[in-house]
Amino acid sequence: MSEKKRIAVLVSGGGTNLQAIIDAQKSGIIKSGEVVLVLSNNEKAYALERAKNAGIKTITVKRSAYTEGQIFKAMMDEKIDLIVLAGFMTVLSEEFTKEFPRRILNVHPSLIPSFCGKGYYGLKVHEEALKKGVKVTGATVHFVNEIPDGGEIIFQKAVEVADDDTPETLQKKVMEQAEWILLPRAIEKVCSEM
């Protein structure tokens, strides 16, 4: 068997998707890759604690001193094969994404092409879905390119919207029923095909 692909996960917040990745790695869902680095642009992100608890190296690139150059250097230093955006609240530039073609994944909390693109992240996605009155939403894992949420789709999973859903309950359902399932599967698929 070839050696495992080296994965970096970029985070900004609580790290629930990171935890799903760590758990999937432990349970054998992800077997062709291994998370070797967690990078955050928020030094207070709980995701960093999750990484430390799992024995994964962490790096913080402070927002005030944020440069893609620092992220790029970290990816090169750690010989990263695959970058996973897991709640990373910064849009990467075309220059950066072109350096890693079909090697950056993102999970988006809707069924692209609905409720996606610039400005659609976090609770706003679910607020807009409820405002529109959709009966089905979900999550999409896609490759990242220079267009926010514009890369090739890898997996999608639908989640039913209940009449009494709030943005918060819908966000939780989409994470539990779609994001935490799809993201590890997509990571394994991409790593196994590299």
User: Cβ of 96: how many Cβ atoms within 10 Å?
Assistant: 18
Calpha distance 9→69 (Å, rounded): 17
Residue 108 is among the residues annotated as catalytic for this protein: yes
Calpha distance 124→127 (Å, rounded): 5
Long-range pairs, 79-82, Cβ under 8 A, ≥24 = 79/6, 80/6, 80/7, 80/8, 80/36, 80/37, 81/5, 81/6, 81/7, 81/33, 81/191, 81/194, 82/5, 82/6, 82/7, 82/8, 82/33, 82/187, 82/190, 82/191, 82/194
Contact 104, 83 (CB under 8 A): yes
How far is CA 191 from its chain centroid? 15
Structure tokens of 128? 């807009």
Calpha distance 73→99 (Å, rounded): 12
Catalytic site residue from 5, 108, 126, 142:
108
As annotated, the active-site residues are 108
